[in-house]
A and B are shown apart, each in its own frame.
Chain A
Amino acid sequence: GAVVSQHPSRVICKSGTSVKIECRSLDFQATTMFWYRQFPKQSLMLMATSNEGSKATYEQGVEKDKFLINHASLTLSTLTVTSAHPEDSSFYICSARGVAGSIQETQYFGPGTRLLVL
């Protein structure tokens, strides 16, 4: 199998606070993890790519100091939204990809985290 979990599934926070979202590959080692954001009725937007043990690569227009990504192990990546504001309210989805040549080389998505900043 290729199961990816995310926690929390839903979070409501006050403006100015920081929120941490965890993404775990449960039954495979994820050499690469991807973080996406999706606004209502819009397509997925890739925010950043992280490889275990190295700094994340951010897409153009994504503030790396605002969206902190840590890929500390082959099964865990975290996204921290720092000083969240209402415009950061969105559906955040992680995706994990396993070792090249394995069946898990395909990208598998976590269930997503819905963030609402008041």
Chain B
Amino acid sequence: QKEVEQNSGPLSVPEGAIASLNCTYSDRGSQSFFWYRQYSGKSPELIMFIYSNGDKEDGRFTAQLNKASQYVSLLIRDSQPSDSATYLCAVKPGDYKLSFGAGTTVTVRA
């Protein structure tokens, strides 16, 4: 079982819609959770981090964490073509290294 699993996609949403990205992790002791965005040919860029159960909102992005279910999600509201990218879920399972999922590719249709 992979440490961090994401739907590979691609996830295609119309402009203005909500894009919903899911991530599950295997290490129940994980404490820190991150979402990175990676445009094609570029390096990952941190967009959200969350440590506590519940929701965390930052602009059009909302991260949701449920440690009991070992599940973290990212919602992108009012999706824009510029949101088209690969989104990487990352989990810090207790040691100092992040474990990354394979990423979900999102395409926002104009």
Contacts and interface: CB of A to CB of B under 8 A. Distances in A.
Contact of A107 (B42, B98, B103): B98
A12 B43 CA distance: 19
A109 B96 contact: no
A74 interface: no
A101 to B, nearest CB: 12
Interface residues of B, number: 18
B60 interface: no
Contacts of A43: 88, 100-103
Interface in A81-116: 91, 93, 97, 106-112
A102 to B, nearest CB: 13
B96 to A, nearest CB: 6
Given A106-B34, A106-B49, A46 B97 contact: yes
A49 interface: yes
Contacts of B97: 34, 46, 49
A32 B101 contact: no
Interface of A: 32, 34, 43-44, 46, 49, 91, 93, 97, 106-112
Interface of B: 32, 34, 36, 42-46, 49, 88, 90, 96-98, 100-103
26 contacts: A32-B96, A34-B97, A43-B88, A43-B100, A43-B102, A43-B103, A44-B88, A49-B96, A49-B97, A93-B43, A93-B44, A97-B96, A106-B32, A106-B34, A107-B34, A107-B46, A107-B90, A107-B98, A108-B46, A109-B36, A109-B43, A109-B44, A109-B46, A111-B43, A112-B42, A112-B43
